[in-house]
Amino acid sequence: MSETDMTDVGVEDTDRNSSEGPLLQADGLKKYFDQSDGMLDRLLGPASKVKAVDGVDFELGRQETVAVVGESGCGKSTLGKTLLNLHDPTGGEVRLGGTEIGGLSDKEMLPYRKEIQMIFQDPLASLNPRQTVGDIIKAPLEVHGIGEDDADRTERVRSLLDRVGLSPDYLERYPHQFSGGQQQRIGIARALALEPRVLIADEPVSALDVSVQAQILNLLSTFQEEFGLSILFITHDLSVVRYIADRVLVMYLGEIVESAPVDELFESPQHPYTQSLLSSVPRIDPEERSDRITLRGVVPSPMDPPSGCRFHTRCPVVIPPEGWSGTKEAFRSAFRFRNQLLSEDIDIENIETHLEARSGRATTEAVAEEVIADTYPGSPEDLPGGKREAIESAATALAKGDDEEAASIVSEAFPSPCERRTPTEHRHASDHAVRCHRLDPSAPGQPRRIGADDD
């Protein structure tokens, strides 16, 4: 018995055919990348790590499609690759059919590889340009010893090409001779050659024309039924999610902030991040359209994610502290000013240059006024007594070049419970989980459940 055959028996021994429990599961999954860049090490210290995936719980049921959505850099691809064990997890567990696969060596992983396959955003980059399409699709069959002989394997490849909508006669052609949509079909044929149970599709249609996108999505749906596939669909584009996913996980800076069945998520998004993502999705039904919520500020670095709720630096509905005597809107304007000041992207030199060009001189007072006029959303006049002065003092400190003093003034004057405590999971419905202090009645500064309407 070959080594591969022996390990294959191992897979059969797991609950491969069991219909109990999730097929692919992760608990507290973490993937941190070490920074090997010498310059960054010197600046940030050797312990700096990119926290690409930071404590994700995940379940993929049999024949289910779960979409993971979020902005670029939030950790979606790293999550997919860590689930596939292309990356060693830094912490947590990954189980396939109940068997722990996280951290298995390449050799140990071989029998499980055929159970989980992946397709990528750029099909051409993932296809060897020097191999014919026939050889590309045949390679996994050879590695896993599938098919009686070469003729049998070639026949399987012809059949796969036919099933993905390509002529079996294309066998001898090279990847560059195909269009983007056809290349993705080849990638799908290669992934499905081993009849996997799980397909991880990483932005599989993002690089394709809209008309071709629909064809590829339909193809995946068809195969899901035919092969009984479970699909993890990674995308930054929520508009495709509705047509393919059963359930959606929304990811922000390495964490899942909301998860719900797809219709529930589109109809009743609870997390302000999800609401902002959904507000940019074009809707055909005018009743479903909502005002666009534009998120301000840049996505913070996953090397040094914000404390408490990681979204607090960009959250349009951040919670005021207990005892705040002004309106929520006034607090949120001050908080945005605070965050811009803390992010150190107010260019004082530039302001001085403009003032000098305009009026011949740039006094501290004038620079401070300009900082407020340029940066403060709304008017500090809306703030309760004492807090207006804090804005002025911070702007003056900044104008004098004392960034630390400015940061300390705004941090003290405008604290939010959102930055102090990590939100725990709140169940909006039995299958709808959200991590947001606004939905947690026990969160500080949140004496009762506050719905989106109150904001």
Ligand X SMILES: Nc1ncnc2c1ncn2[C@@H]1O[C@H](COP(=O)(O)OP(=O)(O)OP(=O)(O)O)[C@@H](O)[C@H]1O
Question: Are 397 and 409 spatial neighbours (Cβ–Cβ below 8 Å)?
Answer: yes
Between the alpha carbon of residue 42 and those of residues 39, 46, 47, 329, the distances in Å are: 5, 7, 10, 41
Among the listed ranges 75-83, 359-367, 403-411, 417-425, the one in contact with ligand X (CB under 6 A) is 75-83
Task: Tell which positions 111-140 bind ligand X, by CB under 6 A.
Answer: none
30 binds ligand X (CB under 6 A): no
Among the listed ranges 41-49, 67-75, 219-227, 363-371, the one in contact with ligand X (CB under 6 A) is 67-75
Please state the closest distance from residue 219 (CB atom) to ligand X, in A.
22
61 binds ligand X (CB under 6 A): no
CB nearer ligand X, residue 106 or residue 381 = 106
Q: Please state the separation of Cα 232 from the chain's center in Å.
A: 13
Structure tokens at 215: 């064809």
Among candidates 204, 261, 202, 195, which has minimal Cα distance to 228? 195
d(CA 443, CA 415): 14
Question: Are 153 and 142 spatial neighbours (Cβ–Cβ below 8 Å)?
Answer: yes
According to CB under 6 A, which one of 24, 52, 119, 257 is a site residue for ligand X?
Answer: 52
Among the listed ranges 14-22, 65-73, 366-374, 427-435, the one in contact with ligand X (CB under 6 A) is 65-73
Between the alpha carbon of residue 90 and those of residues 73, 245, 303, 344, 451, the distances in Å are: 18, 28, 15, 32, 36
Determine how many CB atoms are found less than 10 A away from the CB of residue 303. Answer: 15
Task: Tell which positions 269-328 bind ligand X, by CB under 6 A.
Answer: 302
According to CB under 6 A, which one of 19, 72, 294, 430 is a site residue for ligand X?
Answer: 72
Among candidates 275, 292, 327, 302, which has minimal Cα distance to 436? 275
| Pattern 409-428, ligand X, x by CB under 6 A | --------------------
174 binds ligand X (CB under 6 A): no
Task: Provide CB contacts within 8 A for 53, sequence distance 6+.
Answer: 29, 30, 31, 75, 78, 79, 82, 254
According to CB under 6 A, which one of 77, 90, 183, 259 is a site residue for ligand X?
Answer: 77
Question: Are 22 and 232 spatial neighbours (Cβ–Cβ below 8 Å)?
Answer: no
Please state the closest distance from residue 52 (CB atom) to ligand X, in A.
3
d(CA 408, CA 338): 10
Please state the closest distance from residue 370 (CB atom) to ligand X, in A.
34
450 binds ligand X (CB under 6 A): no
According to CB under 6 A, which one of 66, 74, 160, 241 is a site residue for ligand X?
Answer: 74
3-state secondary structure of 272: helix
Among the listed ranges 22-30, 69-77, 273-281, 431-439, the one in contact with ligand X (CB under 6 A) is 69-77
75 binds ligand X (CB under 6 A): yes
According to CB under 6 A, which one of 144, 156, 173, 236 is a site residue for ligand X?
Answer: 236
Which residues contact ligand X by CB under 6 A? 33, 50, 52, 70, 72-78, 236, 302
